[in-house]
Amino acid sequence: MKFTIKSIDNYESEATITFDAAELEKTKSRACKQLASRVNIPGFRKGKVPPAQILENYFGKGAILDESAEILIRKGANDLLNTMKYMPVTEMKPDIVTCEEGKDFVFTLKYTPYPQVTVGEYKGLEVEKVVKPVTDEDVEHQIEHIRENHAEMIDAPADDKVADGDFITLDYVGTVNGEKFKGGEAKGAPLEIGSHSFIDNFEDQLIGLKIGEEKDVKVTFPEGYHAKDLAEKPAVFHCKILSIKRPKLPELDEEFIKKVSGFDTLEKFQESIRKNLEAMAERNALYKQREEVLQKATDNMTVDMPPVMIDNRVEQMINELDANLQMQGLKLEVYLAANGMSADDLRKDYREEAEKNLRMEMLLEEVAQIENIKVEDVDLNMEIAHMASMYRATPKQIVKALKDNGQIQTVIGNVRRQKAMQFIFDNMAGAEKADDDKSDVAADDKATADDKATAKDDVKAPAKDEVAETKDDVKVKAKDDVAETKSDDKATAEKVADDKEKSDSAVDKNADS
């Protein structure tokens, strides 16, 4: 096989691949076997390969030649991919130039190659760690938050009016141009005033009403509303207030403090809250510092990213959002309507984040290559144990799910980039290398020793087998490995937010326990 590659525009390339006539002729016998295995030929058992002349008479020379061409195209694409450092961004599109008996078989493959990445400085980067001091107001705010979590809902006095923050129930009937519409009527519907869960300024117009009072609320459905026949149309909802409830905060007395924290004095309770907030502030400062270091390293990298690569990532992000919404019993169309967005608006909003995440992943892939960072069995075991803890499953179930969905390679890629990220953190200016940092995820989720031991037994061999089994399939599909991955490191901001959420929960848990 011979091949040449040329650029046909700024981002797309074309490979011309040639197999000599002898190779084409040799491939015809394999083509005959494949054709014979798919049909029943009279006089021969299924799968039994008849003589070539009978096959030619049955299928025609053209069909055998076409099958031979498909075989050589797959082989040529795989051989070409084996010469590449990274998978192409797009699938390869074949186009046959010459396919005739006695002549060389020539075809082209058009694709968008993975862009050239030039890494800048990523070691010794300096960013100050700024720890936000915890004030008395922060402590009091956290205590109020805990009280709100233990609030009791009580009925408002009979003569009170609906106010912002109230929880009400109401009947409503909606009409457009005087006609009722599907989904526009409800009895005893619950609503938190100020939650903006209803369209337009619906909730604001209920403020000031008393129980039993009625009012026509006038609103306009947003552009891109999931019910397209209602989008941008004015509507009137006749509403009747049925009940008004308000949260009553518990008294901050000794009984309450002991109930939620186990402490017997306000001072001890406050000190416990302060310590937790200080630990959270320290942790958030560390992650903020690391986020900025990672951003610096990414900014030091140069790459001309193909627009189609960003397009693919945006679609992936939308698909993930859709899947998450479906798990909550929601539809993407409803989500967009509630936020007053169209699908195109969402794509525009996601585009900047998609490019940022891709640049970061490219950096980490390059650092992993340069520093020869490998994913060892222990790394994979820890990730499987973490996933098992997160999804409340056993490591064995996680391994099976990953294998069934062809995601073992994706997990390996994620872990490799996580290790590359940790390498950058360990080598930033003034950093103290700490083994504890590398196992924060597993430690935070309290993966048990039994889980890890089971993961070791379950993952080790399957992961290696899966790598071997999927290597050719992955390359034939020619999909962008980076764009496919649901990388845990795709946005450090997400990791920071996640850890902040965990810290917030830890504060509440400590106080509530």
Please name the amino acid found at residue 444. D
Contact call for residues 485 and 407 (beta carbons, < 8 A) = no
Q: Would you say residue 423 lies in a domain? A: no
Q: Would you say residue 433 lies in a domain? A: no
pLDDT of residue 58: 67
Which of the four pLDDT bands, split at 50, 70 and 90, describes residue 200? Answer: confident
pLDDT of residue 176: 93
Average pLDDT over residues 428-442: 55
Q: Would you say residue 499 lies in a domain? A: no
Average pLDDT over residues 403-417: 92
Give dist(CA 343, CA 322) in Å, integer: 11
Boundary-marking domain end, from 207, 229, 248: 248
CATH number at residue 108: 3.30.70.1050
Q: Are residues 161 and 109 in the same domain?
A: no
How many C-beta atoms surround the C-beta of residue 487 within 10 A?
19
Q: Would you say residue 338 lies in a domain? A: no
Q: Tell which residue, 113, 208, 224, has the closest CA to residue 164.
A: 208
Over 50: is that where the pLDDT of 383 sits? Answer: yes
Q: Would you say residue 60 lies in a domain? A: yes
Q: Are residues 109 and 165 in the same domain?
A: no
- pTM score, whole prediction: 0.66
Element (DSSP H or E) covering residue 183? strand 179-192
In the chain, the number of structural domains is 2
Q: Are residues 109 and 156 in the same domain?
A: no
Residue 428 gets which letter from DSSP?
S
pLDDT of residue 39: 65
Q: Would you say residue 282 lies in a domain? A: no
Q: Are residues 71 and 162 in the same domain?
A: no
Please name the amino acid found at residue 92. M
Please name the amino acid found at residue 510. N
Q: Are residues 9 and 104 in the same domain?
A: yes
CATH number at residue 187: 3.10.50.40
Element (DSSP H or E) covering residue 176? strand 167-176
Which of the four pLDDT bands, split at 50, 70 and 90, describes residue 183? Answer: confident
Helix residue ranges, H only, 105-263: 136-149, 254-261
Contact call for residues 290 and 491 (beta carbons, < 8 A) = no
Residue 1 gets which letter from DSSP?
-
Contact call for residues 166 and 247 (beta carbons, < 8 A) = no
Boundary-marking domain end, from 97, 114, 131: 114
Q: Are residues 87 and 178 in the same domain?
A: no
Which of the four pLDDT bands, split at 50, 70 and 90, describes residue 55? Answer: low
Boundary-marking domain end, from 205, 233, 248: 248
Q: Are residues 110 and 6 in the same domain?
A: yes
Give residue-wise pLDDT tens across range 4-17.
999 998 899 999 99
pLDDT of residue 477: 32
Which of the four pLDDT bands, split at 50, 70 and 90, describes residue 232? Answer: confident
The boundaries of the domain holding residue 28 are 2-114
Give residue-wise pLDDT tens across range 73-121.
999 999 999 999 889 999 999 999 999 989 999 999 999 999 999 999 9
Q: Would you say residue 287 lies in a domain? A: no
Over 50: is that where the pLDDT of 240 sits? Answer: yes
Residues of the chain with pLDDT > 90, as a percent, come to: 64
Over 90: is that where the pLDDT of 224 sits? Answer: no
Give dist(CA 168, CA 241) in Å, integer: 7
Q: Are residues 105 and 15 in the same domain?
A: yes
Over 50: is that where the pLDDT of 475 sits? Answer: no
> Nearest 5 degrees, angle CA 287-CA 291-CA 294?
135
Q: Would you say residue 163 lies in a domain? A: yes
* Burial class of residue 145 in the structure, from the number of CB atoms within 10 Å of its CB (0-12 exposed, 13-18 middle, 19+ buried): middle
Q: Are residues 237 and 165 in the same domain?
A: yes
Give dist(CA 214, CA 237) in Å, integer: 10
Say how far residue 1 (Cα) sits from the centre of its chain.
40
pLDDT of residue 454: 38
